[in-house]
Amino acid sequence: MLQYSNSINQFLRIFVEKKLELTILLVLYIAIVMFSATVIYVYEGGGSNGHMHTYWDAVYWSFVTVATIGYGDIVPHSDAGRIVVFILIIAGLASAAFFTAIVTSAMGEKLNYIKKNKTISNAISLQKYILVCGYGRTCRVLVDNLKKNNHDVVIIEQNPEICTVAEDKGYHVIKDDPSNIDLLQNIGIMNKISSVVILSNDDTVNLSIILSIRSINPNVEIISRCNSSKSKNKLKIAGATDIIQLNDSASLVAMGYLKSPIAYEAIDDMLTDFRGASITELEIFKNSPFIGKPLSEIMFNKFNITFVGISHNDDRNNLKFNPARADTIIEEKDFLIVIGYEKTIKSFKSYLQSPTKFEDK
């Protein structure tokens, strides 16, 4: 009872918050009961009905009938009494429907509030966790990896449907605006959150979240998605620790950053120095001659390609940053994460399938 006392109190507050609607319904209910009791007493009271001796008998009968209980201990005998019964039954059903609608709608609102408070309480109970703002397609890969690596994660997402997807996977999800300063304070932005990852596809939203976080905690690590190169400096000035320009594979790079910030900084420097370069993932198809061979046999330098990491097929979401190439054996459906220009990446893809075509070039 103590565990659920807060939830019970929230449900009891429904009757306080809906006081006006419930009061109007109660007054209407009493008016119907008293009016019907008066009418039935006029026609069947005073001895006409052997079971209705006083006016309060009529009130009792009217109340029971409006409540659609109908014990049957008092039954109208006159036509006028039976007409009153029809009216009372309809009024009783309508009253019950209105009462149910008022309480149900209020309960729906309270359930979301209770669920949100429960998630906040769970977040506060964690020693340290990573806060993820947004739960889009790219973010799901990141969060899955964080969970696999035993990191506690709390997600803030505004879209109800996306929240449901995250909740179904067992994640802590708060349905709210990530830039809400009061919310950020309540979930422990000052001492509970080790890192913040912002993955909205709108740079304006990302900027707003960064500013809100920095207004509370100037030191927490913030990794922000950048959707346009024009926004990168703005996000940096706002207080982002590091910026990532995400595609489907780069969410793995975000995960890699959390594991190894130094490795990520090197990648970021490379992307900054070579304008037009992009980070992408390349699949090793089944007919590639490199299958079964060490990674060191691939000539990345020949195509001006920078190797970042590899993700094996049996553990698709676990990116290995810059592993020892001589010890890493290539398997079918592995994914190589590389940096390069569009033209060189295209040639490199062909090379992975037919290296002999490039031997003399």
Going by pLDDT thresholds of 50, 70 and 90, the confidence category of residue 361 is: low
From the candidate CATH numbers 2.60.40.1250, 2.120.10.30, 1.10.4080.10, 1.10.287.70, the one assigned to the domain spanning 5-116: 1.10.287.70
- Residue 263: predicted pLDDT: 47
Distance between start and end Cα atoms, the chain = 77
Share of the chain above pLDDT 70, in %: 80
pLDDT at residue 76 tops 50: yes
The Cα 88–Cα 184 span in angstroms is 53
DSSP 129-153: EEEEE---HHHHHHHHHHHHTT--E
Going by pLDDT thresholds of 50, 70 and 90, the confidence category of residue 253 is: low
319 vs 209, residue with greater confidence: 209
DSSP 24-72: HHHHHHHHHHHHHHHHHHHHHTTTTSTT--SHHHHHHHHHHHHTT---S
Rounded to two decimals, the pTM is 0.48
Highest mean pLDDT among 10-14, 68-72, 79-83, 266-270: 79-83
Write down the architecture of domain 274-361 according to CATH.
Answer: 2-Layer Sandwich (3.30)
pLDDT at residue 60 tops 70: yes
Q: Report pLDDT digits (tens) over 25-48.
A: 889 888 888 888 888 888 777 666
pLDDT at residue 139 tops 80: no
Going by pLDDT thresholds of 50, 70 and 90, the confidence category of residue 77 is: confident
Q: In the predicted model, what is the mean pLDDT of the chain? A: 79
274-361 has the same fold as 5-116: no
**Residue of 333, 306, 336, 307 lying closest to 319 (CA atoms):** 336
Q: Report pLDDT digits (tens) over 291-338.
A: 999 999 999 888 888 888 888 776 655 677 778 888 889 988 888 888
Instruction: Give the distance from CA 74 to its chain's centroid.
Output: 56
How many beta carbons lie within 10 A of that of residue 285, not counting itself?
Answer: 13
Domain ranges of the chain: 5-116, 127-259, 274-361
Instruction: Give the C-alpha distances (Å, rounded to integers) separating 283 from 83, 253, 334.
Output: 79, 16, 6
The Cα 187–Cα 171 span in angstroms is 15
pLDDT at residue 276 tops 70: no
Lowest mean pLDDT among 31-45, 57-71, 149-163, 314-328: 314-328
- Residue 262: predicted pLDDT: 43
The Cα 225–Cα 202 span in angstroms is 9
List b or e across 36-52, with b for residues whose CB sees 16 or more CB atoms inside 10 angstroms: bbebbbebbbeeebeeb
Lowest mean pLDDT among 19-28, 104-113, 165-174, 192-201: 104-113
User: Given this structure, which CATH class describes domain 127-259?
Assistant: alpha beta
